[in-house]
């Protein structure tokens, strides 16, 4: 670690530019850095119409184009089962299915999904009528705090379909013959972080559902 | 009020019809379907909430010279901008926000922007123009090791440490470092504040409800009775959510000012610098033993740092209790730093103290040419080594943990000479560590209601942060009242309910179920009296109360209105009379890639002694979590300080690396049978932190055994291992 607290010694870096390299730092952020005297910003952005098919129901919305798919689900449609863990595509808590494929909904703008079929955790199953993967998570204790759980489950369900479709992973040995294994599951699920670390139990739940077991 | 001040005798929990059974979590269906509401999700209670976004300081120490809010205030949808220039005055005691121009840490709140939508607030938060004067801060422990240090309380100087150390035939004198670490729980800190007149309801992510009511009330200057705190579901805490941050205070103040609910979530990037972290340590270990392996000198000095008034990381604490040895020098030194404030993170003290102590024990074993398991066995002690036999352990089965684990893990196959076992490109080794975690308990209350339909409602301000509190409190009530689990409903995480222990320090399960036990005893007495039975003789089973050959269904005692009992447990001085701790032994098998130095955990076993196991399924999950966090501390977790600005530069979930699925194999957990009647009427001890206590050292000891590289600066990343392989 560089223990010299004098920023001048470190040369010019992006971080240095943003945070300032002199004793007085006049500016707090990149926008301001570009032109601190910028007058009042642009007026309210126009909304954009978009229709989303969420869990089988069509929703016609007018959205600020900056709204992510995640925030559209949570804050506009009240579907708070999909979680915001990092808002950066780094944790996987916001995983949903778009036309059957798992994505991080925080990395996608809602207006990009005109007409798309979106499935969230609420669409997979609800108490009393749980999806087999949801039931297997309960049986195997594949969660603790529950916050990453909807993302883990959405990811698991789509991941098993990827096996069926012959999609390889980084640990696939033979592209012609993709074999289900714990190692494959762990690799393919590594985009979903669980800090409570129910990982072995999540793998057990997935193993059971893949094997046709219904919890 | 039930006082627990003498060891528990036989009691109704001993039936173990419901307790000690692996019930699924009763909150499981809600969590797996996304129906459990977290702090930012109270849309029914706050349907028109405005969105707050906190702006945080971009310097580590200095002052705000100028702050221009005009652009932000004119931005679309903005309802208010709060800075230190217009924030309401708050009390120093508590968690005041925006109270002046002084910047004490990077990530300190410097403004709040509230708008109609999240997008508007986020955009406007970028439009503040803030001028800072930056001052030179103290950001590195290295700079301060010989400088301004204060001793922390609890230091021990016993016998003749220097003489014993000098004269011993075998000794190690080594220094380890552990970095700053982050809790990185999955749910960001968040608050939704709703005022009704002068009453505030605060939905937030917190571990202890009455700390919220007292802390927020104290800060913003309203009566504690006017605040209701709700944390029905908490998306992980690990200590981070023991503290009140800007989201709670600023949401409360802004909502009051606007006359409209306000909700705020810290961004993931803000969390790493605005909230607490586990402080870095330097640990100087001096262990000396006779040829028989018995320790004659135990020395552990920790150097750590924190902001003025803070505590740093007390990493020497466990060394006071873990091993025998007559001559002891155990110290913690504290330096003042200007980094973000340190705080408790899962097993504060032990989690990183054992990384160093248990590595040093491994080094000592090698020097003695002694098996590391045997070294720990010969140094077992059944009483507090500082006090003597007058303070025995309530239950200490460390040796049994070690023996059981060694047998199960196949420890006898370990080659004591490093670098001898190959599996293809992998050098393979085994390591062991002892584990210890103190067993704090604290007062806790519960309300139990028998309803006319024969079902039971259990209510408490206790929280469930993933620990299983809902489930084990249901099990406790079902056991005590003789009703099936399906007949028990549990409501937690609401300060309007009886004050409870909350979650932290491994005290939650033991304390809160003891509170439920107390309330159930009171309810049993009330019901027995209604039935005309002697409360001491009455048996509760199968939904009925019985004495002799008389039997009355509980339902028939209720009539039209429910029967409610409220009681709490208070703990006496048994934790003083008896040393109390949970114990474990951890065994790791690690492969090290001989070409790259990459370490991979192949097998991991924890054998745990936690008294009675309340629910083996949820207790095992607690251990899995601790073990995995232990692997993280050993191999990857490292908050890196940028010494120019005094902040943690890797402030996101990709750069602050925590274990993911691919890092963690199947893990093995064994609970020793036992019960601890000095700990609580439940006869249980804490389990939530035991898993992390020692696991990391077992992993790094296995790395050494695999390849002969001893990394003394945590984490043991592949670059450090590779450097060792090449020398």
What single string gives the DSSP state of each residue in B442-490?
--EEEEEEE-TTS-EEEE-S---SSS-HHHHHHHHHHHHHT--GGGEEE
Are B306 and B372 in contact by the 8 Å Cβ rule? The answer is no
Query: What order of strands is seen across the sheet that includes strand B190-196?
Result: B78-83, B109-115, B50-56, B262-265, B190-196, B199-204, B227-230
Question: Residue holding tokens 């002969």?
Answer: B708
Domain B2-36+441-572 has CATH 3.30.365.10: yes
Rounded to the nearest integer, the mean pLDDT of chain B is 96
Decide which of B207 and A39 is more confident: B207
CB B180 within 8 Å of CB B339 = yes
Question: For the stretch B688-704, what's the b/e string if a residue is b when 16 or more beta carbons lie within 10 angstroms of its beta carbon?
Answer: bbbbbbbbbbbbbbbbb
B290-322 pLDDT, tens digit each: 999 999 999 999 999 999 989 999 999 999 999
The CATH class of B281-439+580-725 is alpha beta
pLDDT at A25: 38
Residue A10 has pLDDT above 80, yes or no: no
pLDDT at position B93: 81
Do the Cβ atoms of A120 and B618 come within 8 Å? no
Chain B residue with minimum CA distance to A133: B32
- Whether A112 shows a pLDDT value over 50: the answer reads yes
Tokens standing for residue B131:
């001028």
Nearest-angstrom CA–CA distance, A159 and A169: 11
State pLDDT tens for residues A31-54.
434 444 444 555 556 899 999 999
Residue entry with tokens 């739940």: A205
Provide the pLDDT for residue B460: 98
Confidence band for A7, pLDDT divided at 50, 70 and 90: very low
Q: Tell me which chain B residue has its CA closest to the CA of residue A33.
A: B129
What six digits make up the tokens of B32?
Answer: 């797996």
The answer to whether the Cβ–Cβ distance between A83 and B235 falls below 8 Å is: yes
Residue A12: CB atoms within 10 Å: 10
Flag whether pLDDT at B267 surpasses 90: yes
How distant is the Cα of B675 from the closest Cα of chain A, in angstroms? 24
Q: Which fold has domain B39-136+189-265?
A: Aldehyde Oxidoreductase; domain 4 (3.30.365)
Q: Residue A174 pLDDT > 90, yes or no?
A: yes
With contact defined as beta carbons under 8 Å apart, do B619 and B671 qualify?
A: yes
User: Where in the sequence numbering do the catalytic residues of B fall?
Assistant: 689
DSSP string, B268-314: HHHHHHHS-BBPPEEEEEEEEE-TT--EEEEEEEEEEEESTT-----
Top pLDDT among B610 and A13 is at: B610
A23 contact residues in B (CB cutoff 8 A): 133-134
Is B466 in contact with A84 (Cβ distance < 8 A)?
no
Residue whose tokens read 């902040």:
B647
Range A147-174 average pLDDT? 96
Closest residue to A36, CB basis, from B129, B132, B662 = B129
pLDDT category at A130 given cuts 50, 70, 90 is very high
Rounded-to-integer distance, Cα B58 and Cα A135, Å: 46
ipTM of the complex: 0.97
Cα of B661 vs its chain's centroid, Å: 22
Ordered by start, the domain boundaries in chain B are: 2-36+441-572, 39-136+189-265, 281-439+580-725
Residue B348: which of B612, B175, B152, B615 has the closest Cα?
B152
Which structure tokens are listed for B234?
């908490």
- The CA distance from B690 to B502, in Å, is 18
Domains of chain A, each with CATH number or no CATH: 48-124 (3.10.20.30), 132-210 (1.10.150.120)
Residue B451 burial by Cβ neighbours in a 10 Å radius (0-12, 13-18, 19+): middle
Q: Touching check for A106 and chain B: CB below 8 Å? A: no
Token pair 């500016």 is at which residue?
A27
**Interatomic CA distance for residues B111 and B385, integer angstroms:** 51
Q: How confident is the model at residue A214 (pLDDT cuts 50, 70, 90)?
A: very low
Residue of B nearest to A39 (CA): B71
Nearest-CA neighbor of B321 among B436, B218, B484? B436
| pTM (global) more than 0.90 | yes
CA torsion B346-B349-B351-B356 (nearest 10°) is 170
Are A199 and B628 an interchain contact pair (Cβ–Cβ within 8 Å)? Answer: yes
The reply to whether B281-439+580-725 shares the fold of B2-36+441-572 is: yes
């Amino acid at each position: 670690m560089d223990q010299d607290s004098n920023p001048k010694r470190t040369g010019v870096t992006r971080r240095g530019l943003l945070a300032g390299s002199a004793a007085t730092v006049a500016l707090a952020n990149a926008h301001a850095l570009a032109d601190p005297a910028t007058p009042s910003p642009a007026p309210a952005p126009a909304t954009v119409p978009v229709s989303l098919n969420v869990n089988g129901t069509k929703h016609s919305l007018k959205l600020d184009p900056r709204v992510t798919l995640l925030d559209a689900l949570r804050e506009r449609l009240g579907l708070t089962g999909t979680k915001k863990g990092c808002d950066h595509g780094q944790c996987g808590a916001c995983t949903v299915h778009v036309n059957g494929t798992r994505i991080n909904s925080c990395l996608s703008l809602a207006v990009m999904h005109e007409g798309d079929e979106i499935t969230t955790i609420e669409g997979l199953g609800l108490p009393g009528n749980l999806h087999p993967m949801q039931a297997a998570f309960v049986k195997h204790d594949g969660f603790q705090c529950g916050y990453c759980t909807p993302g883990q489950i959405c990811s698991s369900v789509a991941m098993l379909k990827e096996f069926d479709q012959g999609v390889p992973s980084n640990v696939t040995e033979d592209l012609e013959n993709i074999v289900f294994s714990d190692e494959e599951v762990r690799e393919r699920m590594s985009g979903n972080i669980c800090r409570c670390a129910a990982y072995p139990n999540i793998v057990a739940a997935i193993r059971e559902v893949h094997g046709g077991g219904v919890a | 009020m039930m006082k627990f001040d003498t060891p528990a005798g036989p009691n109704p929990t001993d039936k173990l019809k419901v307790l000690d059974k692996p019930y699924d979590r009763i909150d499981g269906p809600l969590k797996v379907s996304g129906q459990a509401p977290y702090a930012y999700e109270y849309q029914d209670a706050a349907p028109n909430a405005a969105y707050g976004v906190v702006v945080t300081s971009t310097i580590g120490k200095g002052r705000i010279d100028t702050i221009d809010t005009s652009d932000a205030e004119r931005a679309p949808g903005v309802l208010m901008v709060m800075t230190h220039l217009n924030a309401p005055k708050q009390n120093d005691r508590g968690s005041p926000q925006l109270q002046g121009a002084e910047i004490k840490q990077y990530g300190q709140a410097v403004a709040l922007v509230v708008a109609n939508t999240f997008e508007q607030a986020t955009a406007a938060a970028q439009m503040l123009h803030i001028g800072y004067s930056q001052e030179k801060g103290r950001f590195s422990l290295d700079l301060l090791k010989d400088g301004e240090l204060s001793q922390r309380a609890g230091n021990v100087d016993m016998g003749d440490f220097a003489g014993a150390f000098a004269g011993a035939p075998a000794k190690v004198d080594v220094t380890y470092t552990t970095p700053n670490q982050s809790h990185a729980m999955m749910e960001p800190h968040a608050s939704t504040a709703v005022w009704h007149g002068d009453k505030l309801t605060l939905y937030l992510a917190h571990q202890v409800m009455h700390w919220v009511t007292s802390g927020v009330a104290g800060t913003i200057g309203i009566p504690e009775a006017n605040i209701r705190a709700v944390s029905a579901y908490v998306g992980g805490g690990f200590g981070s959510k023991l503290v009140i941050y800007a989201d709670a205070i600023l949401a409360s103040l802004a909502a009051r000012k606007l006359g409209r609910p306000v909700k705020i979530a810290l961004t993931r990037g803000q969390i790493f610098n605005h909230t607490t972290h586990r402080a870095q340590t330097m640990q100087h270990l001096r262990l000396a033993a006779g040829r028989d392996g018995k320790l004659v000198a135990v020395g552990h000095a920790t150097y750590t740092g924190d902001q003025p008034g803070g505590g740093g990381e007390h990493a020497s604490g466990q060394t006071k209790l873990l091993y025998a040895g007559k001559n002891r020098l155990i110290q913690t030194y504290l330096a003042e730093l200007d980094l973000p404030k340190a705080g408790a993170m899962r097993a504060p003290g032990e989690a990183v103290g054992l990384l160093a102590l248990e590595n040093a024990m491994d080094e000592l074993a090698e020097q003695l040419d002694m098996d590391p398991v045997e070294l720990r066995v010969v140094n077992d002690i059944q009483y507090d080594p500082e006090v003597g036999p007058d303070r025995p352990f309530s239950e200490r089965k460390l040796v049994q943990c070690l023996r059981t684990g060694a047998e199960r893990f196949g420890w006898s196959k370990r080659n004591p000479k490093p670098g001898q076992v190959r599996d293809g490109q992998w050098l393979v080794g085994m390591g062991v560590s002892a584990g210890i975690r103190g067993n704090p308990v604290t007062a806790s209350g519960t309300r139990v209601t028998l309803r006319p339909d024969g079902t039971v409602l259990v209510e408490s301000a206790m929280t469930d942060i993933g620990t299983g509190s809902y489930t084990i409190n249901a099990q406790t009530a079902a056991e005590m009242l003789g009703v099936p689990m399906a007949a028990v409903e549990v409501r937690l995480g609401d300060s309007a309910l009886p004050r409870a222990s909350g979650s932290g320090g491994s005290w939650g399960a033991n304390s809160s179920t003891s509170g439920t036990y107390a309330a159930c005893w009171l309810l049993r007495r009330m019901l027995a009296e209604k039935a005309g039975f002697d409360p001491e003789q009455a048996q509760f089973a199968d939904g009925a109360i019985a004495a002799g050959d008389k039997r009355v269904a509980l339902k028939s005692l209720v009539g039209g209105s429910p029967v409610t009992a409220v009681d709490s447990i208070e703990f006496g001085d048994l934790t003083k009379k008896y040393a109390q701790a949970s114990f474990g032994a951890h065994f790791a098998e690690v492969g090290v890639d001989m070409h790259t130095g990459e370490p991979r955990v192949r097998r991991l076993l924890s054998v745990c002694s936690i008294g009675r196991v309340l629910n083996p399924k949820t207790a095992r999950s607690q251990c899995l979590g601790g073990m995995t966090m232990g692997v993280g501390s050993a191999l990857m977790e490292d908050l890196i300080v940028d010494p120019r600005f005094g902040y943690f530069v890797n402030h996101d979930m990709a750069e602050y690396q925590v274990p993911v699925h691919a890092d963690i194999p199947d893990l093995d957990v064994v609970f020793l049978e036992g019960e601890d009647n000095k700990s609580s009427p439940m006869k249980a001890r804490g389990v939530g932190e035991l898993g992390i206590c020692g696991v990391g050292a077992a992993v790094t000891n296995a790395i050494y055994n695999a390849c002969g590289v001893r990394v003394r600066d945590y984490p043991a990343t592949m670059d450090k291992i590779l450097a060792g392989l090449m020398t």
